[in-house]
């Protein structure tokens, strides 16, 4: 927790100084580079900061000067990679999937490429036991929190709902942060909330500790269809006892892993070096954030639907973990 606090404080100080765009614009300079994260308070912000720390420490001999930049998240990061304002960024792989194809609300197909698949984003609906929500069909007619405004949750929540026979029009969708969503469940202003992240997710831990909540299950057939149709969806198990009041394992969904991305035209050797540095320095990432455990031979090169950059592919082939 102390380490995360230090990372957050450092990122906030750099952002507040207002030096990022001038000093670190993504013009392709190998020395000065900018790395997009997300708003303070979430996992992307802290994990992005951890990755940058490891890159700067391990890559000191390469002359790197990489700055982590707080942004509004995946959608901003993707647009700014395309415009050259960022060199690398973290994103939700579901959002990147649609951006790379130019569909589902994107104004064009954005030329982004995957570098490394990171921690899974295991998300679920939770509800107070007295709310009447026991299954996803029970969301009809209710007030439901679906993430912060502009966060892009609709990119994965829309197909998830459709697989269960629902759409946004079936309930009143509310926008709020995860922390605010927990408060809204407690005071009755929302009947359910869609919350996710790395396991355990702090906001779910808070809700389970302070309220009697239900972990709303997904339909097994729906999970199978989603995983077959969209490469960013994947079945995920939340171990028994992860949250208070959860005696058994929960079969949930990874609704789009966090991943590291860059622009399609980024120098191949640079991307190779970034990939190699993070993969070989993964234990240093773990020391800063548990999400670093996802940098392993099975997960790092895992396909979530966005084409990998040639520099990353070259490294994964070199170490024998690339799956053709």
Q: Where are the domains of the chain?
A: 2-119+257-318, 122-254
User: DSSP 3-state assignment of 191?
Assistant: coil
- What pLDDT, on a 0 to 100 scale, did the predictor assign at position 20? 37
Q: For residue 81, what pLDDT band results from cuts at 50, 70 and 90? A: very high
Assess whether pLDDT exceeds 80 at residue 210.
yes
- What pLDDT, on a 0 to 100 scale, did the predictor assign at position 259? 98
Which tops the pLDDT comparison, 43 or 259?
A: 259
- What pLDDT, on a 0 to 100 scale, did the predictor assign at position 19? 37
Q: Within 10 A of 111 (CB to CB), how many other CB atoms are there?
A: 15
CB 185 within 8 A of CB 209: no
Q: For residue 30, what pLDDT band results from cuts at 50, 70 and 90? A: low
The CATH T-level fold of domain 122-254 is D-Maltodextrin-Binding Protein; domain 2 (3.40.190)
Assess whether pLDDT exceeds 90 at residue 101.
yes
User: DSSP 3-state assignment of 264?
Assistant: coil
Cα dihedral sign for 23, 24, 27, 29? positive
3-state secondary structure 203-237: HHHHHHHHCCEEEECCCHHHHHHHHHHCCCCEEEE
What φ, ψ does residue 225 adopt, rounded to 5°?
A: -65, -45
Output the furthest CA–CA distance in the chain (Å, rounded). Answer: 59
Assess whether pLDDT exceeds 50 at residue 249.
yes
- What pLDDT, on a 0 to 100 scale, did the predictor assign at position 41? 65
State pLDDT tens for residues 284-317: 999 998 889 999 999 999 999 999 999 999 999 9
Assess whether pLDDT exceeds 90 at residue 40.
no
- What pLDDT, on a 0 to 100 scale, did the predictor assign at position 16? 37
Q: Which residues, other chains included, contact 108 with Cβ-Cβ below 8 Å and sequence gap of 6+? A: 102
Give the CATH number of domain 2-119+257-318: 3.40.190.10
Q: Which two tokens stand for residue 118?
A: 């990171």
Residue % of the chain over a pLDDT of 70: 90
User: Left, alpha or beta for 135 (phi > 0: left; psi -120 to 50: alpha)?
Assistant: beta
Separation of CA 237 from chain center: 17
3-state secondary structure 110-130: CCEEEEEECCCCEEEEEEEHH
State pLDDT tens for residues 2-18: 444 444 444 443 443 33
Q: Quick one: DSSP state of residue 281?
A: T
The mean per-residue pLDDT over the stretch 202-225 comes to 95
| Distance between CA atoms of residues 79 and 317, nearest Å | 29
CB 65 within 8 A of CB 56: yes
The mean per-residue pLDDT over the stretch 241-252 comes to 94
The yes-or-no answer to whether 2-119+257-318 and 122-254 have a common fold is yes
- Reply yes or no: is the peptide bond before residue 236 cis, omega within 30 of 0: no
The mean per-residue pLDDT over the stretch 106-121 comes to 96
State pLDDT tens for residues 125-149: 999 999 999 999 999 999 999 988 8
- What pLDDT, on a 0 to 100 scale, did the predictor assign at position 12? 45
Assess whether pLDDT exceeds 50 at residue 229.
yes
pTM of the shown model: 0.83
- What pLDDT, on a 0 to 100 scale, did the predictor assign at position 150? 77
Reference 301, options 323, 271, 269, 285; nearest CA is 323
State pLDDT tens for residues 146-189: 988 877 889 999 999 999 999 999 999 999 888 899 999 999 99
User: DSSP 3-state assignment of 300?
Assistant: coil
Reference 260, options 300, 297, 298, 289; nearest CA is 300
Which tops the pLDDT comparison, 25 or 67?
A: 67
Q: Quick one: DSSP state of residue 309?
A: P
Average pLDDT along the chain:
89
In a 10 Å sphere around its CB, with 0-12 CB exposed, 13-18 middle and 19+ buried, how is residue 173 labelled?
A: middle
Cα dihedral sign for 180, 186, 192, 197? positive
């Amino acid at each position: 927790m102390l380490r995360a606090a230090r990372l957050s404080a450092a990122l906030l100080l750099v952002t507040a100084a207002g030096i990022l765009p001038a000093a670190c614009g993504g013009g392709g300079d190998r020395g000065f580079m900018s790395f997009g994260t997300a708003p303070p308070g979430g996992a992307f912000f802290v994990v992005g900061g951890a990755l940058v720390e490891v890159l700067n420490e391990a890559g000191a001999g390469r002359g790197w000067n990489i700055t982590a930049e707080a942004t509004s998240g995946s959608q901003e990061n993707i647009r700014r990679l395309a415009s050259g304002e960022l060199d690398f960024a973290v994103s939700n792989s579901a959002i990147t999937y649609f951006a790379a194809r130019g569909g589902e609300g994107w104004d064009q197909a954005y030329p982004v490429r995957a570098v490394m698949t990171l921690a899974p984003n295991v998300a679920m609906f939770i509800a107070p036991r007295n709310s009447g929500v026991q299954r996803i069909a029970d969301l009809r007619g209710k007030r439901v929190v679906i993430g912060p405004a502009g966060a892009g949750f609709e990119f994965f929540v829309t197909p998830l709902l459709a697989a269960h026979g629902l759409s946004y029009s079936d309930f009143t969708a509310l926008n709020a942060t995860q922390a605010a969503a927990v408060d809204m469940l407690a005071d009755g202003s929302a009947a359910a909330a869609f919350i996710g992240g790395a396991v355990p997710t702090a906001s779910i831990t808070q809700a389970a500790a302070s309220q009697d909540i239900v972990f709303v299950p997904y339909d097994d057939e729906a999970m199978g269809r989603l995983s077959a149709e969209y490469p960013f969806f994947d079945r995920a198990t939340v171990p028994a006892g992860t949250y208070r009041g959860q005696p058994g394992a929960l079969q949930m969904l990874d609704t789009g892993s966090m991943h590291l991305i860059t622009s399609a035209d980024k120098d191949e050797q640079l991307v190779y070096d970034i990939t190699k540095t993070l993969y070989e320095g993964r234990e240093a990432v773990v020391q800063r954030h548990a999400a670093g455990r996802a940098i392993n031979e099975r997960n790092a090169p895992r396909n979530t639907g966005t084409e990998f950059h040639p520099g990353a592919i070259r490294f994964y082939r070199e170490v024998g973990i690339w799956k053709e």
